[in-house]
Amino acid sequence: MSEIPRTSLRRSARLAAVPISAAGRAALGAGQRLVGKSASDVAASIQTRNAQQVFEVLGQLKGAALKFGQALSVLESALPVELVGPYRESLTKLQNAAPPLGADAVHAQLTDALGPDWRDRFAEFDDTPTAAASLGQVHRAVWRDGRVVAVKVQYPGVADAVKSDLAQIQRFGRLLGSVAPGLDVKSLLAEVSERMKDELDYIRESRNQRAFAAAYEGDPEVLVPHVLAASPTVLVSEWVDATPLSKVIAAGSRDERDAAGHKYLNFLLSCAGRVGMLHADPHPGNYHIASDGRLVVLDFGAVAQLPDGLPSAMGAVLRIAMEGDAQQVLKGLRNEGFVRPGIDIDAESLLTYLAPFCEPAAPQRFHFTREWMRTQFARINDPRHPEFNVGLKINLPASYVLIHRVWLGGIGVLCQLDATVAARQMFIDSVPGFVDAGAAA
């Protein structure tokens, strides 16, 4: 095939059908309530069916749809299994059997990107892709100096498909909010839209990857492949034989899960201070385990620029919450924009709402489990629970959108790993403000 269709009417129709179907379910639910069915039972049934359709559709499409689906997939640990099962199955099928870009189309992309003599750069080039993802596919090749390399080739026409997908996805943002009320879907949609523009530019991604590779050169726990060549649509970097983190999640031993969780969380927390950038795509597909045990980090299209590292207020509020000072927690969140001016919120209720999310940083070692995460999401997403209204009053400032995505996504992956991790020491080492400077002095 010459090009994977990304702007077809069928593709748009699949996305557009989601909010239409949800509206139909809402109308049916209203009728069921009129004939005496419990409002809570009707609402739960509608939410379940909405979630199933959202996950199925996003899991079966590429481009921005799949990218947004991957951003949502970090909620897998938080939601009931019956909601995420269809999505997980669809995503797995897509990753394992996505229709590849044909050799002629790949060669045309390489000619446009690297010039008509592109073959002279390689000693070997395998036309069969080793992986197909949302924006492009990866080929294994041998560079002219003998190094084995990964060649990422962007799908032709994917930029136009991304624009189309994002326009459709924006239309059912409210529906996605009902699927996961604890997630600021509007901010996530805006952030994904902005990051997708960055991820389409492989020159930008190559600069990010080079910065990370230099910062982690020789690191005993993290391996970032070096970039050899880049154009806006082709990226060539070192090949690393490694086990996908998804396989550790599916079948890793206890020791493998804990070791992977340790390296994964340590990287997420430390990279902003070390590189001045935050790797902002915590999806497990971007992480592998090398034969020497190092965490291999891939895909640097989504990166937040944090030249001063993580904000110190983040660690300070977490520390104060753990100390139980409700009024200071409220003050800190107001100062950072999490509680908007004029919003009336009870400080003690706010602390009660936040306290369980501070648990990973309290003990020397914390066991991240699906059950723990589901308990937290059920607690804050149940309208019958008093803490539900507290969550509705909390705002997510634009400057924290990517940090929030990484933190929430990272916890989700750690819970999928079922890992026990010495998280507290990582907070001490890498999160500014977590240690009281006055007390430490």
Q: Is position 160 within any domain?
A: no
Query: Could you give the C-alpha distances from 215 to 3, 222, 297, in angstroms and in order?
Result: 37, 10, 13
DSSP 277: E
267 with 402, same domain: the answer is yes
176 with 307, same domain: the answer is no
283 with 400, same domain: the answer is yes
Looking at residue 365, its pLDDT comes to 97
Query: Could you give the C-alpha distances from 3 to 105, 112, 134, 167, 277, in angstroms and in order?
Result: 7, 15, 14, 22, 34
DSSP assignment of 92-120, as one string? HHHHHHPPPPPHHHHHHHHHHHH-TTGGG
Looking at residue 158, its pLDDT comes to 78
Domain that holds residue 374: 242-441
Query: Tens digits of per-residue pLDDT, 388-433?
Result: 788 878 887 878 878 888 888 899 899 999 999 999 999 999 999 9
424 with 291, same domain: the answer is yes
Task: List for the chain the helix, strand, coil content (%; round to 5).
Answer: 60, 10, 30
| Beta carbons of 239 and 148 less than 8 angstroms apart | yes
| Beta carbons of 391 and 182 less than 8 angstroms apart | yes
275 with 173, same domain: the answer is no
* Banded pLDDT at 123 (limits 50, 70, 90): very high
> Which backbone phi and psi does 39 adopt, to 5 degrees?
-60, -40
Q: Is position 91 within any domain?
A: yes
178 with 322, same domain: the answer is no
Q: Is position 146 within any domain?
A: no
| Structural domain count, the chain | 2
Does residue 307 or residue 179 have the better pLDDT?
307
Place of tokens 């689906």: 69
380 with 249, same domain: the answer is yes
| Beta carbons of 286 and 298 less than 8 angstroms apart | yes
Q: Is position 2 within any domain?
A: no
358 with 438, same domain: the answer is yes
CA 385 – CA 357 distance, rounded (Å)? 17
Query: Could you give the C-alpha distances from 337 to 3, 334, 342, 396, 398, in angstroms and in order?
Result: 45, 5, 12, 7, 9
The strand pairing partners of 137, in sequence order, are 132, 153
CA 27 – CA 92 distance, rounded (Å)? 33
Does residue 131 or residue 299 have the better pLDDT?
299
Place of tokens 């199925």: 56
Q: Is position 296 within any domain?
A: yes
* Banded pLDDT at 91 (limits 50, 70, 90): very low
Q: Is position 13 within any domain?
A: yes
DSSP assignment of 291-334, as one string? TTSPEEE---SSEEE-TT-S-HHHHHHHHHHHHT-HHHHHHHHH
The contacts of residue 47 (CB under 8 Å, 6+ apart) are: 178, 179
Place of tokens 């937040």: 304
CA 332 – CA 338 distance, rounded (Å)? 9
CA 403 – CA 304 distance, rounded (Å)? 8
Specify the range with the lowest mean pLDDT, choosing from 314-323, 378-387, 414-423.
378-387
Q: Is position 104 within any domain?
A: no
CA 248 – CA 256 distance, rounded (Å)? 7
420 with 330, same domain: the answer is yes
176 with 55, same domain: the answer is yes
329 with 436, same domain: the answer is yes
The contacts of residue 314 (CB under 8 Å, 6+ apart) are: 400, 403, 431, 432, 433
265 with 180, same domain: the answer is no
pTM of the model: 0.78
Most confident among 84-93, 116-125, 178-187 (mean pLDDT): 116-125
Q: Is position 155 within any domain?
A: no
